[in-house]
Amino acid sequence: MPPNRLVVTFVFISGVAVAVIAALLTQYLRNLSISQEEHEFRHVFIPLPSENILNVYDDSKLTSALGNTELDKVQVQNIAALTAEALTSLHLALEMKLSGKKNKAIKLFQHAVALAPCHPDILNHYGEFLEHTQNNIIKANEFYVRALTYKPNHEGALMNSQRTARVVEELDRITLRRIDDKRNALSMIPDNNVALIRAKKEAYFQHIYHTVGIEGNTMNLEQTRAIVETRIAVSGKSIDEHNEILGLDAAMKYINATLVNRVGSISIKDILEIHRRVLGHVDPVEGGEFRRTQVYVGGHIPPGPDDIHYLMQEFALWLNSEQAIRMHPVRYAALAHYKLVHIHPFADGNGRTSRLLMNMILMQAGYPPVIIHKQHRHKYYENLQLANTGDVRPFIRFIAECTEQTLDLFLWATTTYSQQVPALSQETLFTKRHNTFILDAESNEILEND
């Protein structure tokens, strides 16, 4: 074959090959583009689970019909309407108060506070009602302080707060002295006392049952006891619920074996080791590790993950500071609990770890581990929320009350002829105390009357 014909043939074949390759490449790129579009569509961000899980109502019509400006106006109008209703309820409450109808007045005050919980006038008037009509100086002072949180220059709340502050401080000291007396009475009972040993065992199961129950665990006390003692699964309950109980049991045993009797500072490593056991059965990867993502806890937005290490170092410095250690143990333990749960350093298990740290501090000071009953979780979280607004005293008082109730249970269980205090398995706590406190104008002393 002549050279020119060979060249022509080669060029022709090459052209055909290039055309085929180009066609195939075009088809491949087109399929790749379609595949990428489908891939991107499948990864659409889903902000919430399905409606049947969260019971979320469809507000799309309202959103599409109203722009952001209109929505803001609607919200402002709703707030204004609630405030107006709250003020109307306040005026009616004041009228009921003047006419001596205390029961109706208190319901109207509570309704006003529920509608406008940040209104300083409502908070101040309700405080005055609690102080002068209900003789509840401590609660009244809390409302005065809350009013000042939202309006620092509120004249009435400022005068009321300053006037009641010293009385409230003395009442708190009386409570802590009473708790110390009960702790001292408990410490006089020999460790080999059969009743004390039995009470400790019962309280151990109670503590695990209630502290996981606060977080939503549905195991009852008998099931909790069976899991801890036998390690046998309970039918109809989730694996996570079992593992929460086993994790808390492991953390309690670790504290009892290594930290309670140890002399020295509390380190970040100690807190991480507690958390490692709390979450070890549920999520071994996250157990003992600081979170690496942002979390949201109701109305509280904890610090970002980049700040965790610094904040925990600051927390450890405070934990071991002379100022903290010299506090009354109940105050010290309650503040340690609040500060840790406020930082929220873990992805999960913050509440359980904070309560364990609190109880470790209390046990080191001779108190039994405090049982916070799951029936009081609303009050527990409400006081934590109040602490976030700037007044941590209600939370400390709540922990003090739980401490005293736990001591009462131990003393009841170890006394042959006991007073009328709740049994260890009884769930109705926080019985009303009928003592009233009066400030003697001449001696400036607190008098306690039955």
Question: Which CATH number characterizes residue 102's domain?
Answer: 1.25.40.10
Together in a domain, 296 and 402? yes
Instruction: Give the span between the Cα atoms of 211 and 222, in whole angstroms.
Output: 15
38 within some domain? no
DSSP labels, 228-273: HHH-PPPTTS-HHHHHHHHHHHHHHHHIIIIITT--SPPPHHHHHH
Domain carrying residue 306: 189-449
Assigned domain for 48 exists: no
Burial of 279 (0-12, 13-18, 19+ CB in 10 A): buried
Q: How many Cα atoms are found within 13 Å in the side-chain-facing hemisphere of 422?
A: 15
Question: Considering the domain boundaries, does residue 27 fall inside one?
Answer: no
Return the pLDDT at 438: 35
Q: In this structure, what token pair is assigned to residue 277? A: 């056991």
Q: Which helix H or strand E contains 156, and what residues bound it?
A: helix 155-187
Verify that 253 and 369 share a domain, yes or no: yes
Is there a single domain that holds both residue 164 and residue 237?
no
**CATH code for the domain in which residue 254 is found:** 1.10.3290.10
Identify whether 5 is part of a domain. no
Do 197 and 280 lie in one domain? The reply is: yes
Q: Which of 135, 170, 205 is the last residue of a domain?
A: 170
Q: Are 97 and 193 within one domain? A: no
287 found inside a domain:
yes
Q: Which residues are annotated as a binding site?
A: 297-300, 348-355, 380-381, 388
Residues annotated catalytic, as ranges:
344
Rounded-to-integer distance, Cα 382 and Cα 388, Å? 10
Helix, strand or coil for residue 436?
strand
Cα separation, 301 vs 307, in Å, equals 13
Shared domain for 151 and 247, answered yes or no, is no
- Picking from 334, 332, 338, 303, the residue whose alpha carbon sits closest to that of residue 319 is 332
Chain center to CA of 293? 19
Residues 249 and 332 in one domain: yes
Same structural domain, 318 and 384: yes
Same domain, 247 and 294: yes
pLDDT recorded at residue 7: 57
- Per the domain annotation, does 41 fall within a domain? no
Q: Residue 352 domain-assigned? A: yes
φ, ψ of residue 439 in degrees (nearest 5):
-90, 115
Domain assignment present for 49: no
Quote the pLDDT of residue 76: 77
Last residue of a domain, one of 170, 201, 232: 170
Stretches in the chain below the pLDDT threshold 50: 33-66, 418-421, 423, 425-450
Q: What is the pLDDT of residue 271?
A: 97
Overall domain count for the chain: 2
Handedness of CA 388, 394, 398, 404 (dihedral sign): positive
Binding-site residues for ATP, in ranges, read 297-300, 348-355, 380-381, 388
Domain co-membership, 104 together with 217: no
Same domain, 144 and 103: yes
**How far is the C-alpha of 311 from the C-alpha of 169, rounded, in Å?**
30
285 and 414 in a common domain:
yes
* Last-in-domain residue among 111, 141, 170: 170
Q: What is the pLDDT of residue 30?
A: 55
